[in-house]
Structure 1
Amino acid sequence: MSSSKTFDLSRFAYSKGNSSDYTSKYTPLRRSSTTPSTSTTPQLSRSNTDTDTGIDTPNKSKKRKYTYEPPESFAQLTGVPDYMTEGCDLMLVGINPGRTSATLGHHFAHPSNSFYSCLYESGLTPTKLRPQQDYTLPVLNYSITNLNHRPTVTQSQLSKAESRAMVPELCWKVHKYKPKLVALVGKSIWDDVHFVFKSNSFNYDYRLDNKDKKVNIVEKSGDCDHTAGFLLQNFKIVHDDNNESLFFTLPSTSGLVAAYQKEAKVRAFKRCKQTLDRIKESSLDTSTMHIVDSVTLAQTFAHLDQR
């Protein structure tokens, strides 16, 4: 196995506050009403997908673009608490709190976010919960958390390095709460988790993995299905009691993610439920999955957390 990487979380520390006020350093300058402007504003290539919400854009003709901003830009935004239970069936993991969630103190709180509808319509919850009821998820033997704790307006205001540096903490949570299935709500979360996992797995072989990818090339259907990467991933965490935690990638439920309609997202959530049912029935073969060296990753977080 390749040597484990060390992640420095200290540079991403920030002070928590109580206000939701936020002014971006990228706020466009006001133009004179009498002097026409001939200059053009370069378009930023980063996505403006809200981390857990939809963002209202008053000027629809010129959508505001967002790019990375440091933690101090959001020091006045508070985070969102985890709601966890040990031995849970499902651990739901968001990207990070958006502005609405950070203001209200609840996960996936923006009205345009379809997270709770997807849970209900897929059969994962018996009723449609409101964001204010996120604390009741442990009653269903579910846990809910985020990969990154600090709030932003959009996901693109986090850096890749920052999100990847939070993977050891996620591994620590998986070790502590031992979920049967970890559902990552957003493909970008799996991109960051996979980047760390593939370098910290006992039986991961880049050559074999690349060979398998070439052999198992599947034509994309255009739907929110396994061909788009929304499926059970080929990695697992094995606990000291030999129970396992598997990983499933779900689509983002943000109202700004228009690549797939809500009905397609619900189908992905249904496949997640079917996978969870198979795990609970012990009818899923995990023998060929890559085993993550999660102990080392979890210890990395614990060491940094004690500094």
Structure 2
Amino acid sequence: MPDVISDGLRVLFCGINPGLMSAETGHHFARPGNRFWPALHLSGFTPRLLRPDEQGELLTYRLGITNVVDRPSARADELTRAEYLAGGENLVKKVLQIQPEWLAIVGVTAYRDAFGERKAAMGKQDRLIGDTRVWVLPNPSGLNAHYTLPKLAAAFAELKQVS
């Protein structure tokens, strides 16, 4: 799954891993029930609702996308602890290379598992990766029913206000 990255990013959004539809299409957050794109728009990061196949347009807003784990799966709970740890190490290398202002990981469990931060909560983290600040957002998957779209958009908007 290709990253959508460049130098000078304001925020690098980091998904857990590609879903099967994303792997098939080559577009991040491609499953129709995923609320990433609507939350991104409603929070003010993008001036209009982008489709997954328009992901390259994010770069014009100084936004990018990557994943913690590269292996596609139907559900994130199919990933192993070893995959999360290796993914966290690879993510650190990537962030140090491109140096975004913020790394926003979508999924607190993914952040906890990839970085060994068992008590991490949503929002700004104490961790820095080089000069990059870290923020944890809710997982926008439709399986995360606890977070409605308005709640997701509000969580994304908190990051938008500081980025």
TM-score range normalised by the length of the shorter chain: over 0.9
Does the Cα contact within 8 Å between 2:85 and 2:113 map onto a contact in 1? yes
Pairing 1:140–2:54 present = no
Instruction: Give distance in 2, aligned partners of 1:140 and 1:133.
Output: 12
What is the aligned residue count? 163
Does the Cα contact within 8 Å between 2:9 and 2:64 map onto a contact in 1? yes
**What is the deviation of 1:275?**
2.0
Gaps of at least 5 residues in structure 2 are none
More strand by share: 2
**Higher RCO (CA 8 Å, separation ≥ 6 residues):** 2
**What is the deviation of 1:193?**
3.3
Instruction: Give distance in 1, aligned partners of 2:84 and 2:55.
Output: 23
What does residue 90 of structure 1 align with? 11
Q: How does 1:188-267 map to 2 (within 5 A)?
A: 188-195=109-116, 229-238=121-130, 244-267=131-154
Instruction: Give distance in 1, aligned partners of 2:83 and 2:37.
Output: 27
Q: How does 1:105-120 map to 2 (within 5 A)?
A: 105-120=26-41
> Bigger radius of gyration, 1 or 2?
1
Secondary structure of 1:144's match?
A: strand
**What is the deviation of 1:115?**
0.4
Which amino acid in 2 is paired with 1:272? L
**What is the deviation of 1:111?**
0.8
Secondary structure of 1:165's match?
A: helix
CA RMSD of aligned residues (A): 1.7
Which one of the candidate residues 60, 72, 87 is aligned to 1:166? Answer: 87
Which amino acid in 2 is paired with 1:181? W
1:240-270 superposed Cα distances (whole Å, 9 cap, x missing partner): xxxx100000001111111221111111001
Which one of the candidate residues 58, 75, 79 is aligned to 1:154? Answer: 75
Which one of the candidate residues 32, 37, 47 is aligned to 1:126? Answer: 47
Percent identity for Structure 1 against Structure 2: 36
**What is the deviation of 1:106?**
0.4
Secondary structure of 1:166's match?
A: helix
**What is the deviation of 1:137?**
1.2
Give the alignment's TM-score, normalised by structure 2.
Answer: 0.94
Which amino acid in 1 is paired with 2:129? I
Give the alignment's TM-score, normalised by structure 1.
Answer: 0.51
Which amino acid in 2 is paired with 1:144? I
What does residue 179 of structure 1 align with? 100
1:74-121 superposed Cα distances (whole Å, 9 cap, x missing partner): xxxxxx211111121110100001111111110000111110100000
Which amino acid in 2 is paired with 1:90? V
Gaps of at least 5 residues in structure 1 are 1-79, 199-212, 214-227, 239-243, 277-307
